[in-house]
Structure 1
């Protein structure tokens, strides 16, 4: 017996089996059912299902000039970015778009392009060669993107960056945490507890970590504007390799701070280790506030007081911005900054001095 023909069903096969023209079958299977009888539509759909016909989205994309794909250049580095990815995927799936998620490295360290941005540019090219309908970038990829923005503007490819503001001429949207609200909230919490000597433990302040700079500066301004308390700031080197050393400098400075604001939960965890090495107790000797509410924050000892970001909502907003620009190309003439407000989660790492 000859082997069964396993060739995928084609549109003309569906049309022939249903007794309609290829044009009629195409229109019905693409959702145009108002101009045909219910019986005809049902027969075409039943035939397509029975034959195992599937729409060829590659052909559709060539015909319509849309691939229905969005390049998502974000690694699942920690629980914040996993949440961002979840929000992006949920929103794109609801709109029948497919995210193509890529990154470089093994996710154990931040991928960065301080010395050589070749890897980032190559990844961008891989997505552009596949004719994605939009790009969503995390900060370091956004920096690598600078060299390509003119090409993308000409091709009407919308771009959205997360936690990184691109220059005005790039005409890209930026989705970020409301840093002013977050800094204000932390300052009010610590000052309200009665802390007068406050420190800020910053992260590396590279080109692609602009959020770290804004978070520190806005916190300094928030403390200064309320009077009565003094804030001093430290930051790590550009590679972040001296974090523990700097954390110990913060905790042994004179006068020693009674509270420290860490610009991320990662920095807060380093402070916990430094405090333990120095024999300091949290919060009896020093209160610590983090930022992000990562998945380990409530498992630290004591559980960490932190600003909870809204990663799923940030991801949703990023995906929605791409979809909106797809629907209205006129919106690509300018860039927007969309802020998502964080909330303070008070746990056991802060107390009165």
Structure 2
């Protein structure tokens, strides 16, 4: 493989000093237009690309923000990443996007990689319920911001959505439609989002004077469509299947929908269904899905802006914040009034 051209090669080709090439790249206003043109021509001829690691060592600050999410297969996190990328690009920064796959071990490995790469900061949706990985990472003195999770302490910023309120909206909608037999299908309960959404569901029951045991719970091992299909098969096999299901995210709900149709049943005639996140596929499903919408792109943008402020020229003035955004219920066709059955 051919050797990559270096700054000395550019200087030799342009007939100038290495310092002049450096000025053209980093401080072009110090160089005459004629010299800049010669250096730029040499750069294009040789295919020179400046070394980001060398630049980083010189200025002491990376231009890369790392982002670690639970599942890149979930369109919700793609929307969050889009918001973070927009804010980062506006600030002249790039984003390194990684997937923990809801695995604390994989999360730990990525955090170590980020530290080795000396990234500017990290946007993270934690997979480790105990927070051990981030406690260790904090010792590296690299700022980080929680995304889709409330920061447990005042040592960092966070941007999240009120998941208790969102789940309360979802289950209250089912109860107001006359349902009294509701199942909550969640992902792993070590995830705070799944726990908070169960709390919101129970709050809705209490608000309608119903006991906690009115809500049955099926815990899936993942938050994807395949896990939703498996959960759907389990709930249909119950001795007394529910009339309504609330899922911790839309991917689970789409899997439940598939299981219902595979069993020869229909949504909402035989089973009413509500999801969470309001991903694009929710409205485009065979039966448009009622779902709780999270402002995903806004969440990513705000988180990135917080991190940029904390790592910028005015970092000394930065004050950690915990922003909690409000969800909204988007009503479609997947819930039916009990009286209409």
1:69 to 59, 64, 72: 64
Cα pair 1:201 1:247 within 8 Å, conserved: no
2:94 to 92, 98, 103: 98
TM-score normalised over the length of structure 2: 0.78
* CA shift digits 1:64-98 (9 cap, x unpaired): 21121122223422211222222222222222222
Q: Which runs of 5+ in 1 are unaligned?
A: 105-109
Cα pair 1:14 1:48 within 8 Å, conserved: no
For residue 326 of structure 1, what is the aligned residue in structure 2? 311
For residue 231 of structure 2, what is the aligned residue in structure 1? 243
Change (3 A) 1:246 1:8: same
Change (3 A) 1:6 1:339: closer
* CA shift digits 1:117-147 (9 cap, x unpaired): 3x4322221221111121222331x558624
Change (3 A) 1:136 1:11: farther
Distance 2:13 2:26 in 1: 13
After superposition, residues 39-78 of structure 1 pair within 5 angstroms as 40-52=31-43, 54-74=49-69, 75-78=71-74
For residue 13 of structure 1, what is the aligned residue in structure 2? 11
Cα pair 2:68 2:97 within 8 Å, conserved: yes
Question: In structure 1, the residue corresponding to 2:246 is in which secondary structure?
Answer: strand
For residue 337 of structure 1, what is the aligned residue in structure 2? 322
Change (3 A) 1:277 1:154: closer
Distance 2:10 2:194 in 1: 58
Question: In structure 1, the residue corresponding to 2:99 is in which secondary structure?
Answer: coil
Question: In structure 1, the residue corresponding to 2:288 is in which secondary structure?
Answer: coil
For residue 291 of structure 1, what is the aligned residue in structure 2? 276
Distance 1:103 1:46 in 2: 43
Question: In structure 2, the residue corresponding to 1:338 is in which secondary structure?
Answer: strand
The alignment yields a C-alpha RMSD, in angstroms, of: 3.5
For residue 159 of structure 2, what is the aligned residue in structure 1? 175
Cα pair 1:283 1:348 within 8 Å, conserved: yes
Distance 1:16 1:269 in 2: 61
For residue 192 of structure 2, what is the aligned residue in structure 1? 210
1:269 to 254, 275, 284: 254
* CA shift digits 1:269-295 (9 cap, x unpaired): 243244446654322333211111234
Question: In structure 1, the residue corresponding to 2:186 is in which secondary structure?
Answer: coil
TM-score normalised over the length of structure 1: 0.75
Distance 2:12 2:89 in 1: 27
